[in-house]
Amino acid sequence: MAIFKGSGVAIVTPMNEDESINYDKLHELVEEQIQAGTDAIIICGTTGESACLTVEEHLETIKACVEMVNHRVPVIAGTGSNCTRDAVYMSKEAETYGVEGLLCVSPYYNKATQKGLIEHYSAISEAVHTPIIVYNVPSRTGCNVLPATVAYLAENTKNIRAIKEASGNLSQIALLKSITRDSIDLYSGNDDQIVPILSVGGIGVISVLANVAPRQTHEICQAWFDGDTALATRRQLDAIDLIESLFCEVNPIPVKTAMNLLGKEVGPLRAPMCEMEEKNLERLKKSMKDYGIL
């Protein structure tokens, strides 16, 4: 059974002006997402500035989110690390909080071999019972989890159940699905490829866009599931300009900026994330206005 189907929001981590985590605001965001039809909450992923959180903050934020959601939709915790021991530790801790899934990015900077990736993910799998989503994002990690590696993990571990594919390589993604079929669930990790990935057997998206357009992102997936592929495609294409603007600087700079423009008051970014360049800020504002959310 899939961890979730549809639109999962890679939710931002709201902060106070002193850069402490704003848990009251996080609760507001969670409620808004659930009311808008979002199908899962992904906490402490890249969009949640996980790389700039202490381990203690990271785990406390996961625990708080689980309590806020209270089983209304699945909560998936980002617990990946470039150190296998750290990934195992955080995954085991998050499991005790009652998360429905673990999102484990491939080891960044170390650039593991495919053999190393198998050993890394196998170690996490052996340490927990919670379903695991492999996160493949080579542009940020410097490491590509190849289809054959995913197929091996699906066949030889008890709980590696899905992959968030953000390689952007549709040929690779199609090959992945062709050799894994129903043994691995496929989620788009790129908002501009939701429909293309659904078309090769994907079951949803782990989305940045959903932070500012939760209902619309859910509707892209739901239209596809309902058999209205023309509507899903139209909704996907309508969002492309906004999606491009949300990635015109490194994530999560634009999306957190967009949320503040919407009055969500999610606070500052932690360094080395910084304020947007003026030309990109103006581009973002225009895209939001054109999309009808500003």
Q: Tokens 């202490």 appear where?
A: 54
**Structure tokens belonging to residue 150:** 């995913």
> Confidence class of residue 118 from pLDDT cuts 50, 70 and 90?
very high
Beta bridge partners of 163: 134, 186
Q: Are 280 and 254 in contact (CB under 8 A)?
A: yes
pLDDT of residue 233: 98
Phi-psi region of 71 (alpha: psi -120 to 50; beta: other; left: phi over 0): left
User: What residue ranges do the domains of the chain occupy?
Assistant: 6-226
Query: If DSSP codes are grouped into helix, strand and coil, which group holds residue 9?
Result: strand
Q: Provide the CATH number for the domain formed by 6-226 in this structure.
A: 3.20.20.70
**Tokens describing residue 231:** 């509507």
Q: Which two tokens mark 110?
A: 């170390």
Q: How confident is the model over 180-210, as pLDDT tens digits?
A: 999 999 999 999 999 999 999 999 999 999 9
Q: What is the pLDDT of residues 63-79, one digit of tens each?
A: 999 999 999 999 999 99
What is the enclosing helix (H) or strand (E) of 185?
strand 185-188
- pLDDT tier at 91 (50, 70, 90 boundaries)? very high
CA dist., res. 252 & res. 161, Å (int): 26
Could you tell me the two tokens for 63? 């625990």
What are the pLDDT digits (tens) for 255-283? 999 999 999 999 999 999 999 999 999 99
Report d(CA 294, CA 290) in Å as an integer.
8
Phi then psi for 17, rounded to 5 degrees?
A: -65, -25
Provide the pLDDT for residue 22.
Answer: 98
- The average confidence (pLDDT) of the chain is 98
Q: What pLDDT is stored for residue 92 in this prediction? A: 98
Q: How far apart are CA 172 and CA 89, in angstroms?
A: 31
Active centre residues (catalytic):
135, 164
